[in-house]
Each structure stands twice: as C-alpha cells, then as structure tokens.
Amino acid sequence: MSKKLIGSCIFGQSGGPTAVINASAYGVIRAALDAEEITHVYGAAHGIKGVLADKLYVMDEEDPKELELLLHTPSSELGSCRYKIADPEVDDTDYKRILEIFKKYDVRYFFYNGGNDSMDTCNKISRYMESVGYECRVMGVPKTIDNDLFGTDHCPGFASAAKYIATSCMEIHKDASVYDTPMISVVEIMGRHAGWLAASAALATEYGSGPDLIYLPETDFDMDKFIEDVKAVYERNQGNVMVAVSEGIHYADGSFVSEAKTSATDGFGHAQLGGLATLLANIIKERSGAKVRGIELSLLQRCGSHLASATDINEACGAGMEAVRQAVSGTTGKMVAFKRVMVDGKYTCEYELLPLTAVANYEKKVPVEWINETQNGLKHEFIDYVLPLIQGEPEIPREDSLPRYAHLKKVLAK
C-alpha cells in the first residue's frame, strides 16, 4: 500500500457513445465521491477537451438519485470528444495546459473512459505527468462497442450492442419472411476493423430467427463468392435470404467494399463508413432481380440502453469503481481489464490491471478459428463466448412508459 494521495479527481468520457459508458461514469463518480482521499469530483465536459477548456462539472453538487440514473442513460452524459492529442515529445502545448488545470484544481486522480484512442491519450498524460514530476494517478476505464481492446476478454458496451443487434435481427428476420414472395435483406452492422458486432447477429440465428449469411472484416470479401452464397440460400429457402455484414468488410487489396460511397474522415483518420447495406442490396438486385432491402442498424445499435445487458451494466459500473479503488490504493498507468473465469461451467468476470502502454492502439479481432470454413458465418465457439455477456434484463427506470434518463445540474467548477 503506497502513501495516501489526497486531492481532486477528474473523470472524462471519450470516443463514440455506448449504452453503458454512463454506467462506468456512475461507477467512477460514486466511488470517487465515497473515497476519503478524493476531495472533489469533477466531470470533464467533452473529455480531454473540457480539461483543456477549463470546463469541469462539479459532481459533488449532483443529486445522488440522478447520478444513479446514469446506470440506464445511454450515450456520454458529460459529452465526448474525438480529440487526437499530440505526442508530448513533438508538441507539449496540450500537456502544459492540462498540468495547469490539474494544479488549479489540485487534481491528483485522472480517470479516462474510452476505447483504443482514449487509452493512448491516457497513456500519454500519465507519462507526461511522471516526466514533470507531478504526482497524479491515471487510470483507464475501457469502453467500446467494437470490443477490440487488447488484453481484456471483452469491453463494456459491446454486450449491450450485441444484444440489441441480436434482438433486432430476430425481429427483422420475422418481418422479412412474412410474404411468400422472394425477399433478400441486407443488414449493415457497425465495426470498422473488428467483426465482433456483426458476428453477434449469429445469436439471432442460433435462437431461430436470424441471418443466413454473416460477413466480417476478419476475412477478405469477394463479391462473386458473396453473390454465389446469396444464390445458394435463395434456392434453399424459397427466395428468403437474410445477410448481415460488418460495415468494415473489405476486398483482398484492403479497400472497403463501401469505399465508393464515402469520403469524409473523422478526427483520427478513420474512413467514415455507411450506406453499405444499400450498396450490396442494389448489387444483388441487379444480378438476381429479386426484391431486396438494405437496413442499417445505424447508431441505434450503440445507444440502445432499453435493451442493455444487465451483465454489461454491472461490469461497466464495476470497472469504474475498480479504477477508483486501485488508484487510491496507489495504482497508476493502468487500464481495468476483464478476465473471464468459468466456475463450474458458469461465467464470472474478474478485474485485472493492464499497463496502458500494452493496450493503446492495438486492435483485437474475432479469432479466425471462430469463423466457419466458408467464411460466411460463425462457429459455436463464438456463441459460447458472447452468450454469457448479454445475460440479464436491467430494471429500466421509466416515466409514463418512456425511459427516464439522468438529469444532471452540471454546475461548472470555478
């Protein structure tokens, strides 16, 4: 046990929203408010941008009941950002400013909740503070629907998105098979480089109402083979075909199938994908003459808190609490990770700590051994992996049968 470090904390949210990132926020904020070492709890408006802009909300001023509603409030309640921080060796302007703010509010704890890019930010801040001798414990809390963070069994946000995707695919399959005329539906699912989300559509098939074909970015996409696959199912199923594709499917040369349709890029240089379902539907229509429908699950799949997994919420909140517990005990420069432990065949989840340096900027993909031989579906190993994660229905707080989200006062720190 290292010496007691007394001071304020800042918590920030970064990257794309999820159904449970606010559950992690609640975990951090609640544990920080309860920690005697932590004097004030600040929430950064729009992640690191709020720190740079001196825009911090005083969490101590919030109604505890409203804070608890964060467990069921989707998206990033404090605001998020996609801000690429420079390497401190190249340009330390931002770091000097962060240090200034840390000093202003006597910040000794920094918790950052996000994906790959956010762990990179976290790591750089941690290294900088160490290099200038400012004592501050920096902890990363994982988050990404993409489930692609290295070194953790899974990531908060993934399971709720997976459950949304599986349930929606079950409903789409029911809807799309209602007429006795041929109908091909193509469902586009998020996932730039890792196919975890599109793979989750396999749950719908496993439970009797899902896609016949699933394509992931873990393998190369071949348009001719795709058309053949669709035709084969078409023959077998009297014209009823449902296809799920990851937005990130690409040809053998690495170019995205959706590429022709997109040009804009986000702050991290990722291509912004979309419109793939329509594109594939049109190609199938041209070549087969069948009735087709392109469906994009869109951002609904990442913020569908009404369909969240209770397991995901609990783990996301727990990860936030664990980050605070570890930090006040002396840990720094680590991300809280999940370790799957099977006890008597039953899934349980344990926390472990990973060095931020080991996590940042690596991408974990769906193991190719879990993809079937014909590269258009998942093996049962994937179902075994994902099924425990989506378990449990949370008690959703409601007002007149609509979701009741947290209403925070967001009092600005001075």
- Summarize as ranges the residues that interact with a second copy (CB under 8 A): 16-17, 45-46, 49, 73-76, 79-82, 163, 166-168, 170-172, 174-180, 203-204, 207-209, 275, 278, 293, 295-296, 298-300, 302-307, 309, 387, 390-393, 398-405, 407
Q: CB-wise, 198 or 204, nearer to a second copy?
A: 204
In whole angstroms, the minimum distance from the beta carbon of 115 to a second copy comes to: 14
253 belongs to the catalytic site: no
> How far is C-alpha 23 from the geometric centre of its chain's CA atoms?
13
The Cα–Cα gap between 272 and 18 comes to 18
Question: Facing residues of 317 across strands?
Answer: none
List 94, 117, 120, 146, catalytic entry = 146
Contact 403, 305 (CB under 8 A): yes
* Nearer CB in complex with a second copy: 15/333: 15
Least distance to a second copy, CB of residue 254, Å: 26
By beta-carbon proximity to a second copy, the closer residue of 374 and 391 is 391
Is 151 or 275 the residue whose CB approaches a second copy more closely? 275
| Residue closer to a second copy (CB basis): 353 or 387 | 387
The CA–CA distances, whole Å, from 109 to 4, 7, 139, 352 equal 12, 7, 8, 19
Give least dist CB 206 to a second copy, A.
Answer: 8
d(CA 278, CA 292): 9
Give the residue from 59, 111, 79 showing the smallest Cα distance to 332.
111
Nearer Cβ to a second copy, position 73 or 246? Answer: 73
Identify the three-state secondary structure at position 243: strand
Q: Which of 381, 355, 353 is nearest to 366 (CA)?
A: 381
245: which strand partners?
Answer: 188, 215
Give me the least distance between CB of 387 and a second copy, in Å please: 6
Minimum distance between the CB of residue 208 and a second copy, rounded to whole angstroms? Answer: 7
Instruction: State in angstroms the smallest separation of the CB of 89 from a second copy.
Output: 28
d(CA 2, CA 108): 14
102 closest CA partner among 127, 118, 76, 125? 125
Token pair of 159, please? 């399971």
Type of residue at 107: V
* 338 vs 385: CA distance, rounded Å: 13
Active-site annotation, residues: 146
